[in-house]
C-alpha cells in the first residue's frame, strides 16, 4: 500500500509558475505607479489653477467695487469677496501665497492697496516646464 501520491498528481503551482506571475505583476505595477503619480500631480495643478483664478477674480472684483486693491488677502475674506482663503495644493498652506504689489503708474499717481496679483509659494516645476510660482 502506497501512502503518498505520485509527484505528477499533486495539486498546486510550481516555483517557476509563481515567479512568472510575480514578475508580470511587477511589470504592471511599474507601468501603473508612474501614471498614478502623474495623475496626482495633474490634479494638484488643476486645483492650483482654479485657486489662482478664484483669488485673481476676487481681486479684480474688489478693485471694481472699492476703487483700490486689497491691502491683504485676509481683507478679501473679511469683506466677503472670498469665503475662505484657498490652500496652495503644493505647499499645503493658505498663507504661502506670494503677493505681487500693483505697478505704479508712470504719471506719478499713487495706487492704493498692496495685493495686485498672487502666485504659488512653491518652487517646484510644473508639467508644462514652468515653476508654479510663475503661474
- Summarize pLDDT for 80-123 with one digit per residue, the tens: 999 999 999 999 999 999 999 998 888 878 888 999 999 999 99
How many residues belong to the chain? Answer: 135
**CB under 8 Å to 69, separation ≥6 — which residues?**
59, 62, 63, 102, 111, 112, 113, 114, 115, 116
Q: What pairs with residue 131 in β-bridges?
A: 125
Residue 125 in grid coordinates:
516645476
Q: What is the pLDDT of residues 61-87, one digit of tens each?
A: 999 999 999 999 999 999 999 999 999
Question: How crowded is residue 51: how many other Cβ atoms within 10 Å of its Cβ?
Answer: 19
Written as nine digits, the cell of 23 is: 514578475
Q: Note whether 62 and 95 are within 8 A (CB).
A: no
> Residue 68 gets which letter from DSSP?
S
Q: Which of 88, 100, 77 is nearest to 126 (CA)?
A: 88
- Pseudo-torsion of CA 23, 29, 34, 36, nearest 10°? 170
Q: What is the pLDDT of residue 108?
A: 76
Q: What is the pTM of this model?
A: 0.77
Amino acid at each position: 500500500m502506497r501512502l503518498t501520491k505520485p509527484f505528477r498528481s499533486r495539486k498546486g503551482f510550481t516555483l517557476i509558475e509563481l515567479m512568472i506571475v510575480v514578475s508580470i505583476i511587477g511589470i504592471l505595477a511599474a507601468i501603473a505607479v508612474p501614471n498614478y503619480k502623474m495623475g496626482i500631480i495633474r490634479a494638484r495643478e488643476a486645483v492650483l489653477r482654479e485657486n489662482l483664478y478664484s483669488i485673481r477674480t476676487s481681486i479684480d472684483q474688489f478693485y471694481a467695487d472699492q476703487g483700490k486693491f486689497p491691502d491683504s488677502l485676509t481683507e478679501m475674506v473679511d469683506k466677503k469677496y472670498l469665503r475662505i482663503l484657498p490652500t496652495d495644493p503644493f505647499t499645503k498652506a493658505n498663507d504661502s501665497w506670494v503677493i505681487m504689489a500693483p505697478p505704479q503708474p508712470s504719471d506719478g499717481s499713487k495706487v492704493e492697496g498692496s495685493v495686485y496679483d498672487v502666485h504659488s509659494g512653491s518652487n517646484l516645476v510644473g508639467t508644462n516646464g514652468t515653476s508654479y510660482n510663475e503661474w
